[in-house]
């Protein structure tokens, strides 16, 4: 009797273990499926229409020109610009919240920033469409076009701001207080200690914030599509209608069929490869940093 019950429990343990394992394996399966489906339908297409066509500069579906080079360039410009604006402002904001702002304001500002991090990207896009684009058109743009790289970069940088602030603030807070105090004890001012000691010590966390920002900027679709104008041409200025890879995919999604739809998948493959490269290089960087830390710890002891 007892043995039977014991066997039942044992069997249940094995069964549940298998179930949990399957759940865990699902993530691997999903990732594998995404890779297989994208690559199987995207890569052969690039081979078929020719490498030079696909990485050319003309996107004209009717004449079967599927060149996405201009969109790759636009995506990279947008990412660079938005990350630059967002990270500079966000990092400086985090430093200010870390040491240079009245203590009692900090909790409420943090809470606000966390809340704003959850705002859907499409709302930022709408904000860009009804506020930023008309403003740029009327007051800033030399050719009275509001759409373009600048509008998109501003929208995306505002969108990624809360994430950057909270991730880099966490990184700054994770630096042991003794670093700061030690620097003060050596005669540095509070500002010098923050900029020369605490910020460099938090660099791996700040790097994580930058990588997050780049990832979100290059993959952002809805906020960009509403403010960038969406003409598939090479970007030559900040106020000119251009199109990113993400916008290309989203725009064609419902209209195009056949070859053109496959061209969208291939665009997705290129985007996917960009994000994979970003993740891999970040992991390598982080791995290097960890090893470095271990080494310094060893030499310490």
Least distance from C-beta 222 to another protein, angstroms? 5
- Given the complex with another protein, which of 17 and 237 has the nearer CB atom? 17
- Given the complex with another protein, which of 143 and 279 has the nearer CB atom? 279
- Given the complex with another protein, which of 112 and 237 has the nearer CB atom? 112
Least distance from C-beta 237 to another protein, angstroms? 23
Structure tokens at 26: 């699902």
Distance, C-alpha 75 to centroid of its chain: 12
77 vs 83: CA distance, rounded Å:
10
- Given the complex with another protein, which of 130 and 185 has the nearer CB atom? 130
Q: Is 242 in the site for another protein (CB under 8 A)?
A: no
Q: Residue 256 in contact with residue 61, Cβ under 8 Å?
A: yes
Q: Is 152 in the site for another protein (CB under 8 A)?
A: no
Binding segment for another protein (CB under 8 A), chosen from 43-51, 62-70, 160-168, 235-243, is: 160-168
Site for another protein in 42-81 (CB under 8 A): none
Binding segment for another protein (CB under 8 A), chosen from 35-43, 76-84, 177-185, 290-298, is: 35-43
> What are the CA-CA distances from residue 14 to residues 20, 33, 147, 156 (Å)?
10, 27, 59, 49
244 vs 252: CA distance, rounded Å:
12
Q: Which position among 69, 184, 208, 250 is part of the footprint of another protein (CB under 8 A)?
A: 250
Site for another protein in 161-220 (CB under 8 A): 161-162, 165, 189, 191-192, 195, 215, 218-220
Q: Which position among 92, 186, 234, 284 is part of the footprint of another protein (CB under 8 A)?
A: 92
Residues 6 or more apart whose CB falls under 8 angstroms from that of 51 comprise none
- Given the complex with another protein, which of 55 and 195 has the nearer CB atom? 195
Q: Is 277 in the site for another protein (CB under 8 A)?
A: no
Q: What is the SS3 assignment for 60?
A: strand
Site for another protein in 100-139 (CB under 8 A): 100-101, 109, 111-116, 118-127, 129-131
- Given the complex with another protein, which of 13 and 181 has the nearer CB atom? 13
Q: Is 221 in the site for another protein (CB under 8 A)?
A: yes
Q: Which among 244, 110, 222, 240 is positioned nearest to 168, based on CA atoms?
A: 110
Q: Residue 76 in contact with residue 64, Cβ under 8 Å?
A: no
106 vs 178: CA distance, rounded Å:
21
Q: Which position among 170, 183, 222, 299 is part of the footprint of another protein (CB under 8 A)?
A: 222
Residues binding another protein: number (CB under 8 A) = 84
Q: Which position among 65, 96, 140, 256 is part of the footprint of another protein (CB under 8 A)?
A: 96
221-224: long-range contacts, CB 8 A cutoff, minimum separation 24: 221/121, 221/246, 221/247, 221/249, 221/250, 222/121, 222/122, 222/125, 222/250, 223/121, 223/122, 223/124, 223/125, 223/128, 223/152, 223/155, 223/156, 223/159, 224/78, 224/125, 224/152, 224/155, 224/156
């Amino acid at each position: 009797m007892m043995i039977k019950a014991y066997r039942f429990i044992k069997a249940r343990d094995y069964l549940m273990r298998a179930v949990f394992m399957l759940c865990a394996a699902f993530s691997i399966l999903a990732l594998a499926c995404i890779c297989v489906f994208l690559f199987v339908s995207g890569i052969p297409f690039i081979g078929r229409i020719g490498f030079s066509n696909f990485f050319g500069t003309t996107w004209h579906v009717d004449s079967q020109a599927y060149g996405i080079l201009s969109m790759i360039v636009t995506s990279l410009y947008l990412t660079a610009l938005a990350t630059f604006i967002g990270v500079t402002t966000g990092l400086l904001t985090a430093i200010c919240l870390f040491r240079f702002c009245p203590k009692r304001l900090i909790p409420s500002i943090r809470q606000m920033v966390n809340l704003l991090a959850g705002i859907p990207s499409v709302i930022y896009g709408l904000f860009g469409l009804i506020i930023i684009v008309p403003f740029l058109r009327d007051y800033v743009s030399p050719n009275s076009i509001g759409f373009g790289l600048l509008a998109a970069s501003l929208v995306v940088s505002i969108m990624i701001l809360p994430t950057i602030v909270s991730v880099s603030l966490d990184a700054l807070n994770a630096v042991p207080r003794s670093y700061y105090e030690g620097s003060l004890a050596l005669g540095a001012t509070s500002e010098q200690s923050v900029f020369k000691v605490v910020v460099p010590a938090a660099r791996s966390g700040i790097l994580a914030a930058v990588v997050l920002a780049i990832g979100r900027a290059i993959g952002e679709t809805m906020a960009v599509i509403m403010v960038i104008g969406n003409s598939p041409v090479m970007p030559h200025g900040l106020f000119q209608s251009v199109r990113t890879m993400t916008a290309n995919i989203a725009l064609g999604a419902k209209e195009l069929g056949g070859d053109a739809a496959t061209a969208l998948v291939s665009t997705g493959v290129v985007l996917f490869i960009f994000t994979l490269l970003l993740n891999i290089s970040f992991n390598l960087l982080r791995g290097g940093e960890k090893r470095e830390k271990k080494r310094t710890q060893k030499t310490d002891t």
